[in-house]
Amino acid sequence: MHKSPDGDAIGSSLAAYHFFKSFGNSVSVISPDAYPDFLKWMAGSKEITDYSRNSKAALQSLRSANLIVCLDFNSLKRIDKLGGAVAKSKALKLLIDHHPQPEGFADIMLHTTQASSTAELVFDFISLLGEGKKINRNIANCLYAGIMTDTGSFRFSSTTVHTHRTVAELMEKGAETTRIHQLIEDNNREIRMRLFGYALFEKMKILPEFGTGYIALTQSELKQFDYREGDTEGFVNQPLSVNGVVFSALFSGKADGSGIKISFRSKNNFDVNRFARKHFNGGGHLNAAGGSSEQSMDETIMKFISLLKEYKNELKPSAKGRKAG
């Protein structure tokens, strides 16, 4: 799974964990770093090895593997320091992913950008193998969580008829939909909600001439609100709810002081994947991408605003839907 794993990365990985384990295999799940507390309810989450905290165990698992399943990332860069170890491994590599432009590091790929999420593709993978009967409540819950989070609770245009049919089958397999929504969306610490209010009231900036909004939170501001991994989940989407805004960004200071983490979202056809790849060492989907900057917060924001002039004609709002993931 990719660095700073989200609901789709964790959900698809744990579903795959339970599936392969059901055949009697020895299975390990490795994350490049920590993931949000609101995802730790998923069955098997305690089995995840965090490479940033236990690199020895993670590398040992990779060295002993016969098969490495690469979930929810299209480039070895997206798994940070784990990338080198995966590249060197002689194990068979299977990539299951929905991000555009996958690199050719895998031996086998199940890949399409038409899928709403990697979790949806893991469901397809299990079905293609004729092993749908293996999907129990634990697997169904993990896959539902992945699909639900990557489609914005089924609001984004990546949600298709196939997505809904997949979810219907997961519900038949025992997915606890109401409970999952509560555990992910209604399970906030009070201080996290105060950070959310601060981000909207004090830090959200709207640039109407460019149809753009952004939120910038320095590391010192995050510390003020006892920041934990995942606390800013969804913040980047908020400026898009402002009338006329079609492009949104969230700038967050990295904990180690090494620069700025950036999330991009858009409506309609403004390609944030292209924007992130070209200007901020990142990538993702048409309407959802990430990037980074080694400059200061002020310098990064100045660069971002200066770039908007190049895209002014593309940033005109229209009534079409949006896609994210």
Go through the domains of the chain in sequence order and give each one's CATH number. Answer: 7-185 (3.90.1640.10), 190-315 (3.10.310.30)
Mean pLDDT of the chain: 94
Q: Taking residues 294-310, what's their average pLDDT?
A: 97
| pLDDT for res 318 | 58
pLDDT for 202 beyond 60: yes
- Exposure string over 278-298, b if 16+ CB within 10 A, otherwise e: ebbebbbbbbbbbbbbeeebe
Cα angle value 33/196/292 (rounded, 5°): 45
Rg over CA atoms, the chain: 19
What's the pLDDT tens digit per position in 74-124? Answer: 999 999 899 999 999 999 999 999 999 999 999 999 999 999 999 999 999
Which of the four pLDDT bands, split at 50, 70 and 90, describes residue 316? confident
Alpha carbon distance 160, 167 (integer Å): 11
Q: Taking residues 148-156, what's their average pLDDT?
A: 93
pLDDT for 226 beyond 80: yes
What's the pLDDT tens digit per position in 43-84? Answer: 999 999 999 999 999 999 999 999 999 999 999 999 989 999
Alpha carbon distance 167, 175 (integer Å): 9
Higher local confidence (pLDDT), 323 or 285: 285
pLDDT for 238 beyond 50: yes
| pLDDT for res 227 | 95
Counting residues of the chain whose pLDDT is more than 70, the rounded percentage is 97
pLDDT for 324 beyond 80: no
Q: Taking residues 209-218, what's their average pLDDT?
A: 97
Strands 67-71 and 288-293: what pairing?
Answer: unpaired
Where is average pLDDT lowest: 113-117, 140-144, 284-288?
284-288
